[in-house]
Structure 1
Amino acid sequence: MHTFYRGTTESILTSCITVWYGGCTASCRKTLQRTVKEAEKIIGAPLLSLQDIYRTRMARKALSIAGDPTHPNHCFLSLLPSGTRIRSLQVRTSRLRDSFIHQAIRMPNSLPALPPLPSLPSAPTYSGH
């Protein structure tokens, strides 16, 4: 039952969660979480909350963008000269504050230390033999 939930219900609920979850209203999040709670009752095992899934995926995506200089959003996730935090951007509206980029900056900055950035695989070299 757990595998079925993860493969169907959770994959539908969390499709592109890093994009839409930050802009959801509290009532929308509560409604979606209620679906997860009902699935917990049916399965009889604890499941990850949508907020936990969102945080995990957001951190992973933010770090992969920050570590990939070829990504179009890499310039928004640049490290400060100290290398301990990501440069914050100024916002004037809550809509922009809840967008992916700003959430992706705030989440790693709220950690005591930034996790190491993933490195890009190096291009194979041609030896000429």
Structure 2
Amino acid sequence: MHSSNHLIKFADDTTVVGLISKNDEPAYREEVQQLPAWCKANNLSLNVNKTKKMVVDFRRAQSGRSPLFIDKSSVEIVKSTKFFGVHLAENLTWSLNTSSISKKGSSNTSTSCGG
């Protein structure tokens, strides 16, 4: 594993986090290409249809997002994802997570009378 990448495994979820600086993506892309073999070696199955890519990019001049492929299948690029119960947005603001918690809280409020 390249030092700019981290593999996070929890229960049945695996996350690859890559720090890409100066548009140098090969280490990250190589890590992702090795993911199917890593999963197989660790008796895990990789569902590419459930695999997502989220990019956090604070550069002033952002370049286009290159597609990512795993075993010839395109990985969906998303603007937000849920990670360990926290809703993360590509701009790293808390508004998405806050609204999700707020909605969940308001849907759980019900009044009942016990007898």
From the two aligned structures, give the one with the greater strand fraction.
2
From the two aligned structures, give the one with the greater helix fraction.
1
Structure 1 length as normaliser, TM-score? 0.28
Structure 2 length as normaliser, TM-score? 0.30
Q: Which has the higher contact order (CA 8 A, sep 6+)?
A: 1
